[in-house]
């Protein structure tokens, strides 16, 4: 509704390209480098690690292979997924991959609902699904509360600060997520796809959150690692004849995510770094070959390094913390690039650097020099609120700079695309329905 029309009108292939149009090449290069580092060190290894963890537990690979070492079986599975993912990426063109990804998505949705159904039935015993649901409501009412209390891991107030910003970046400006919308045949088609995705996302509480709560109920106090809980739940509640189906669905989803991350990495490297800085005169063929080599090296490094994530504790907490470090600075600059045409490029560049320094200092360096005690635990101040304040500081820096030292000429968004930019007429209605459904979900699960 807001971001997609601006991105498509600019005719860009990557988000950093928008920053080059709004500011300068330096801003684009820094954002591009941050994206590449985050994908190579965080996104791709996490896809491999989480996928391997799930498959090891669902298929009971340790028993199947007679490998006793947790690290070794994890390493072998990560390498296997990585190799399969690279082969998957070469199966065909974008159309073939889009069709396969659609099939994988449908399978994952069906499989996710299956897990929720069988898990509730397992929990309810002879009473069935309804009894399982009633058990959760009686034993863990706090886990079904959509509005976290002030002392919870995600207090309700943070939905309007850091949580909102993380989600806005992820769904609106994260290269891996929005890259395929850049290939939409028209603005209307792109908007339909995004709104459909938003509708499917509303089903997440059923196929993601509910199984997590059931796993908590079943395995709390047992020797079950958080990262192993979902795979163990699937293995415990699914009938044997459906376990293979779900494993196949999960493999497809993992390969789809892995392929999307590799494609985004390739685009960021080839367009934003190699062709932009390293070898501007390179032919398209040379650029493609170099990008493939770069992505191959990144993939191999991720396969070998992914098992190290087992030492990070909770994968979800680690992911949220590391994502915040680059989500917030880049999102602040993108938003100001769209809303304020007078922000000087030096202010945008400085804001990204300041944001990185603040978040790295508080989220990584502070715990490292305080015996693992997090900034949030010591101060009692939520990391999500810290993200919100950091965002406000960065926006403030750029806004003040636009008043004190505005660029000589406001930049204008020039239409640079051959596609039809007529918006879909159903956007207001679809958006209104989605917002209403979100409110209904929150109200329904508010204690």
Name 303's bridge partners.
none
Segment 301-315 mean pLDDT: 90
Q: What is the tens place of the pLDDT at every residue in 83-121?
A: 998 887 776 555 666 777 788 888 889 999 999 999 999
Most confident of 108-112, 170-174, 355-359: 355-359
The boundaries of the domain holding residue 51 are 3-444
**Rounded-to-integer distance, Cα 315 and Cα 63, Å:** 24
As for how many domains the chain has, the answer is 1
What is the CATH classification number for the domain harbouring 284? 1.20.1730.10
- According to the model, what pLDDT value does residue 103 have? 83
pLDDT tier at 233 (50, 70, 90 boundaries)?
very high
* Whole-number percent of the chain with pLDDT over 70: 98
**Residue 238 pLDDT:** 93
pLDDT tens profile 126-150: 889 999 999 999 998 888 888 877 7
Residue range 72-79: mean pLDDT, rounded: 96
62, pLDDT greater than 80: yes
pLDDT of residue 240: 87
Please give the average per-residue pLDDT across 355-361, as a whole number: 97
């Amino acid at each position: 509704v807001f971001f997609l029309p601006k991105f498509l009108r600019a005719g860009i292939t990557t988000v950093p390209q928008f920053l080059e149009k709004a500011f300068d090449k330096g801003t684009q290069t820094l954002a591009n480098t941050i994206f590449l580092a985050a994908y190579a060190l965080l996104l791709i290894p996490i896809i491999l690690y989480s996928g391997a963890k799930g498959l090891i537990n669902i298929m009971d690979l340790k028993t199947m292979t007679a490998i006793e070492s947790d690290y070794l079986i994890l390493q072998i599975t990560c390498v296997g997924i990585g190799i399969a993912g690279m082969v998957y990426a070469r199966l065909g063109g974008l159309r073939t991959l889009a069709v396969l990804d659609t099939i994988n998505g449908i399978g994952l949705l069906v499989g996710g609902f299956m897990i929720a159904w069988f898990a509730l039935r397992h929990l309810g015993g002879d009473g069935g699904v309804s009894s399982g649901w009633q058990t959760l409501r009686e034993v863990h009412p706090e886990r079904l509360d959509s509005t976290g209390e002030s002392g919870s891991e995600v207090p309700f107030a943070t939905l309007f600060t850091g949580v909102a910003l993380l989600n806005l970046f992820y769904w609106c400006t994260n290269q891996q997520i929005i890259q395929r919308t850049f290939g939409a045949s028209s603005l209307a088609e792109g908007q339909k796809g995004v709104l459909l995705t938003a509708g499917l996302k509303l089903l997440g509480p059923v196929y993601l959150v509910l199984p997590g709560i059931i796993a908590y109920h079943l395995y709390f106090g047992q020797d079950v690692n958080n990262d192993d809980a979902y795979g163990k739940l699937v293995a415990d509640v699914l009938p044997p004849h459906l376990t293979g189906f779900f494993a196949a669905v999960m493999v497809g989803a993992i390969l789809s995510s892995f392929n999307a991350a590799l494609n985004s990495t390739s685009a960021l490297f080839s367009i934003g770094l190699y062709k932009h800085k390293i070898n501007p005169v390179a032919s398209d063929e040379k650029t493609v070959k170099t990008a493939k080599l770069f992505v191959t090296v990144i993939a191999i490094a991720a396969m070998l390094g992914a098992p190290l994530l087992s030492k990070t504790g909770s994968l979800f907490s680690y992911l949220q913390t590391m994502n915040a470090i680059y989500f917030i600075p880049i999102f602040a600059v993108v938003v100001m690039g769209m809303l304020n045409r007078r922000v000087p490029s030096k202010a945008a560049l400085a804001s990204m650097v300041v944001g990185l320094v603040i978040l790295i200092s508080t989220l990584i360096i502070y715990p490292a020099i305080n015996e693992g005690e997090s900034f949030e635990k010591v101060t009692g101040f939520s990391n999500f609120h810290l993200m919100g304040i950091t965002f406000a500081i960065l926006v403030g820096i750029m806004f003040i700079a636009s008043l004190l030292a505005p660029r000589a000429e406001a930049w204008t968004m020039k239409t640079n695309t051959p596609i039809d930019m007529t918006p879909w007429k159903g956007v207001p209605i679809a958006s209104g329905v989605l917002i209403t459904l979100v409110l209904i979900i929150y109200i329904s699960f508010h204690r």
